[in-house]
Amino acid sequence: MSPLQLSASNLQENPQATLTMSLAQTDFCRKNGFDPQSPLCAHIILSGAVTKVNDTEVDFAKHSLFVRHPEMQTWPSSHNWFFAKLNITNIWVLDYFGGPKIVTPEEYYNVTLQ
C-alpha cells in the first residue's frame, strides 16, 4: 500500500475492512454454467483489521507479493510503499442456497488441503 492511496488514509481512520473473493474470478463458474451471482459460484468474505506487517513478517510479505507481481519491485520508491495484512476476525462462505456458513479464523488457518 501507499500513503498516497485513498484506501490507506481511510484505513488510518478506521482499520476495519472486508475482502470478498468469488470463484467468478476464475473460469470455474463459467465452465460449470453458474451465474456469477448464484450462491453456487462460491464466495468467501473475510473481515478484520488492516495493519502494517511487523519486521519479522516483511520478508515473507515481499516474497509473496513479488512472486506474483514482479513488476511491483520497480514501482517508484517515492510512493513510500508498505506491506499490510488483514487480521481476520470473521469469515463467511457462501456456496449454496440458505445463507452463508460461518468459519472461525482458527478453522480457516488449520485447514488441511488435499
pLDDT of residue 114: 83
pTM score, two decimals? 0.83
**How far lies 18's CA from each of 1, 39, 56, 59, 81, in Å?**
16, 19, 25, 25, 21
37 within some domain: yes
For residue 57, give every residue at least 6 positions away whose Cβ sits within 8 Å of its Cβ, in sequence order, or none: 83, 85
Find the angle CA(70)-CA(18)-CA(68) to the nearest 5 degrees: 10
pLDDT, tens only, 51-83: 999 999 999 999 999 999 999 999 999 999 999
106 within some domain: no
25 within some domain: yes
pLDDT of residue 113: 87
- CATH number for the domain spanning 73: value is 2.30.110.10
Share the mean pLDDT of the chain: 95
- Residue 11 β-bridge partners: none
11 within some domain: yes
83 within some domain: yes
Q: How many domains does the chain have?
A: 1
**How far lies 114's CA from each of 44, 92, 103, 111, in Å?**
19, 21, 18, 9
pLDDT of residue 73: 94
pLDDT, tens only, 30-51: 999 999 999 999 999 999 999 9
